[in-house]
């Protein structure tokens, strides 16, 4: 992986993994914006479930609801890393395809 943020990825001098890493680094912020909304909504709901669940523990009649909301919040804690993983896979797939297309173009121009 290149440490130079302004380096131009070149299919002839970089391996597929290097190319993907360089291109992802340049465009990561652009793609991350849409995923950031998912992170924020998830975090907001997570906080809401734990807050309401905590209040439910003040009253005997709503303790079961409190436990249920804590379980929901705990499950939702698994969503954020899932979103992050989906984001990374999506980006890698885009740039791997781009690399392969540029390789084909490079080979056909010779």
Q: How far apart are CA 69 and CA 75, in angstroms?
A: 10
Q: Which of 79, 86, 102 is nearest to 23 (CA)?
A: 102
Indicate the pTM of the whole model. 0.54
The model's pLDDT over 71-88, given as tens digits with 9 standing for 90+, comes to 999 999 998 889 888 888
The model's pLDDT over 48-61, given as tens digits with 9 standing for 90+, comes to 999 999 999 999 99
């Amino acid at each position: 992986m290149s440490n130079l943020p302004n380096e131009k990825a070149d299919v002839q001098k970089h391996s597929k993994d290097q190319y993907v890493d360089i291109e992802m680094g340049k465009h990561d912020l652009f793609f991350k914006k849409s995923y950031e909304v998912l992170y924020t909504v998830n975090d907001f709901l997570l906080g809401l479930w734990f807050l309401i669940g905590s209040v439910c523990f003040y009253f005997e009649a709503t303790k079961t609801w409190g436990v249920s909301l804590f379980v929901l919040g705990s499950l939702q804690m698994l969503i954020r890393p899932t979103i992050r993983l989906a984001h990374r896979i999506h980006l890698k797939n885009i740039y791997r395809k781009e690399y392969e297309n540029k390789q084909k173009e490079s080979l056909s121009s010779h």
